[in-house]
Amino acid sequence: MAPEPHDLAGLPGLPTDPDDEFALLHENAAELGLPWREPTVDRVEAELPDGRRIRAIRWGDGEPEVVLVHGGAQNAHTWDSVAYALDRPLLAVDLPGHGRSDRRPDRRYLPDTMAADLAAALPRLAPSARAVVGMSLGGLTSLALTGIAPELVAHLVLVDITPGVTGAKAASVAAFVAGPESFATFEEMLARTVAHHPHRSVTSLRRGVWHNAHRRDDGRWVWRYDRLDGSPVLDPGGLERLWDRLGRHDAPLWLVRGGRSPVVTDDDVRELHRRRPDARIEVIPDAGHSVQGDAPAALAAILAELW
């Protein structure tokens, strides 16, 4: 499924070809301070039993060694800088209802339901990955995957998330996601994103919005993910089950926190260590909740230790 065309008048530097999904990777390289090299990168997909498709971006040659799972209201491109820096075969997934993956008819984007979709897709897309790296809702989904298909999660890396998340801790994230349903222009959408992420470069944010937005037939711009408008994506009972799964899964576990993020607290880390004393904790001081966007080089340096 090709992305919808963009009206890019007045937005220099963005591709005019909506099919040229990887045309901006040179910006990722420049922001990382790395020399430009043409990466091997393409789109892959897996059909689920009900006919829906999970789509993903495959980096490098050979079987993917790592699976990257984005957070709610994001998509696989959020990992572009991390993937470029790692320069290893890997898979960045579009979760159901996000990016270019099909939506769930029941609109239940819960960790357990999305983990079931990943359990069906990953044996075909990344059957021998040595680690699953999940950020935010993607981290909870990856944790839920350990209870459905533990053989697919040989090593779990949680990025700024634990089952201790609450609505209060994630309030700023939820407030942004629950913002306007549509925008008159791409620039208006970008301006709101810049205001919410003042520490991030406009170039980076513009690229992220371009990957995560499309223009409707009426000319207004909307986000690419399935908007839930108040529907819960978590419940206390589900989070407690995820704590239990974390304690039962005996594969290596890492947690990477954003030093400026309120989503993971010291109390959450203590509870994680109570259940998994062997867990490794890393803190990236200058990162907020979206560690992969705020500090991709630092996150990539940590993930490089998987090898």
Residues annotated catalytic, as ranges: 136, 160, 289
Angle, CA 79 vertex, CA 140 and CA 224 arms, to 5°: 80
Give the list of residues 6+ apart from residue 117 with CB closer than 8 angstroms, or none. 48, 52, 54, 95, 96, 104
* Residue where the block lists tokens 């990382």: 32
* Angle between the N-to-C axes of helices 236-248 and 266-275, in degrees from 0 to 180, rounded to the nearest 10: 50
- Rounded CA gap, 159 and 218, in Å? 37
Could you tell me the two tokens for 189?
A: 């959408």
98-111 b/e with 16+ CB inside 10 Å = b? Answer: bbbbbebeeeebbb
- Rounded CA gap, 16 and 31, in Å? 22
Q: How far is CA 41 from CA 23, 44, 183, 296, in A?
A: 11, 10, 31, 18
